[in-house]
Chain A
Amino acid sequence: MTTRRFFVAFAIAAILLAGVVSYFAAGSPDGLNRVAEDHGLASAEKEHPTDGSPLADYGTKGVDNGALSGAVAGVLGVGIVLVVAGGLAFVVRRRRPSSA
């Protein structure tokens, strides 16, 4: 598999997971939240400062359809993380003058 084709396949896998498979994710609290509920710690949780942001809680503000709202938020998140982490890696990387 060429490097380019591999990278495209990897990106498509991430987009499908965030955009489609995420719809089927379990809605129950995760391990830490379950422990917090069981031990009466959950009430200590403060309201999140970015609760009102357009992508808060993996939904897209203004998109009423629940599945679509989650899919758009997930795919946007994949794109944002790809750009930020990929950009950081590009800045940090060793430069090899010989390579294209």
Chain B
Amino acid sequence: MHVPDGFLDAQTSLATGVVAAGAVAVALRGARRELDDRTAPMAGLVAAFVFAAQMLNFPVAVGTSGHLLGGTLAAVLVGPYTAVLCISVVLLVQSLMFADGGVTALGTNVTLMALVGVVVGWLVFRLVQAVLPRTVASVTPAAAIGAFVSVPAAALGFVGLYLVGGTVDLPTGALTVSMLGWHTLIGIGEAVITALTVGAVSAVRPDLVHGARHVLEARELVVRDGIEEQA
């Protein structure tokens, strides 16, 4: 969903740049609470993993593909504030070094994928988690549903920005329908990749899954000791 330069006018790009800068500033403060000596390397690895996974376009129909956005995956593994930073770094590197996603559109892409993608994915994840049993086993399905919703949400975000500052006159209804349609399909892929990744990490090291932290804390401390000693 990398928006190239030229889709949105200069004012809108500037405005999303300000929003993106604000989001990163807030994330830098919030991430301090999420990161310590043990989870800091995890943040680097999650960002690198999202970069790699974003290269893997999967077909969703003839002539159309999608790829992971990764906001929910990162939020569940390293926390929402750190996830905003991780996805922003991925987008920055992609734009400046890989010519993927515009440079004036960087603020737009950070707003859509690092802000909307992470916030919507994380909130839906927490909502589903509150409904499901308080176990580690609930983390993966909750992450999958958050991931699924986050993609059409980011697509709607693009439609909203386009209404404000699109460079070509397009019928709003048709644009909304096609953006939502394709990105609902892509959301299924997002859910599958997120579930596989969060599921794998939860299986071996649930203590390194930010979204499982309060579940583990509610359990006996013996369990955490057990994990440490097994290793």
Contacts and interface: CB of A to CB of B under 8 A. Distances in A.
Interface in B13-53: 28, 31-33, 35-53
A40 B96 CA distance: 26
A28 interface: yes
The interface size bin for chain B is 35 or more
Nearest to A83: B44
A48 B4 contact: yes
Contacts of B53: 14, 17
A31 B168 contact: no
A13 interface: yes
A30 B64 contact: yes
Given A17-B55, A51-B99, A53-B99, A34 B64 contact: yes
B95 A50 contact: yes
A26 B59 contact: yes
Interface in A9-64: 10-11, 13-15, 17-18, 21-22, 24-32, 34-36, 38-41, 43-46, 48-51, 53, 55-58
A55 B55 contact: no
Contact of B47 (A35, A36, A82, A92): A82
Interface residues of B: mostly helix, strand, loop or mixed? Answer: helix
B86 interface: yes
B178 A14 contact: no
Interface string B47-87: 11111110111111001111100000000000000100110
Contact of A26 (B33, B57, B205): B57
Contact of B49 (A17, A50, A53, A83): A17
Given A53-B97, A57-B100, A82-B47, A31 B40 contact: no
Contacts of A15: 52
Contact of A21 (B4, B56, B179): B56
Given A32-B3, A46-B102, 20 more contacts: A7-B41, A7-B42, A7-B45, A11-B48, A29-B63, A29-B64, A31-B60, A31-B66, A32-B155, A39-B174, A49-B5, A49-B103, A50-B96, A50-B99, A84-B93, A85-B43, A89-B43, A89-B44, A93-B37, A99-B37
24 contacts: A1-B231, A3-B38, A3-B231, A6-B204, A10-B49, A17-B55, A25-B67, A26-B58, A30-B65, A32-B158, A34-B178, A35-B182, A77-B97, A78-B48, A81-B90, A85-B89, A86-B40, A88-B43, A89-B85, A92-B32, A93-B35, A93-B36, A96-B37, A99-B37
Interface of B: 1-7, 28, 31-33, 35-53, 55-60, 63-67, 82, 85-86, 89-90, 92-100, 102-103, 155, 158, 166-168, 170-171, 174-175, 178-179, 182-183, 185-186, 201, 204-205, 208, 231
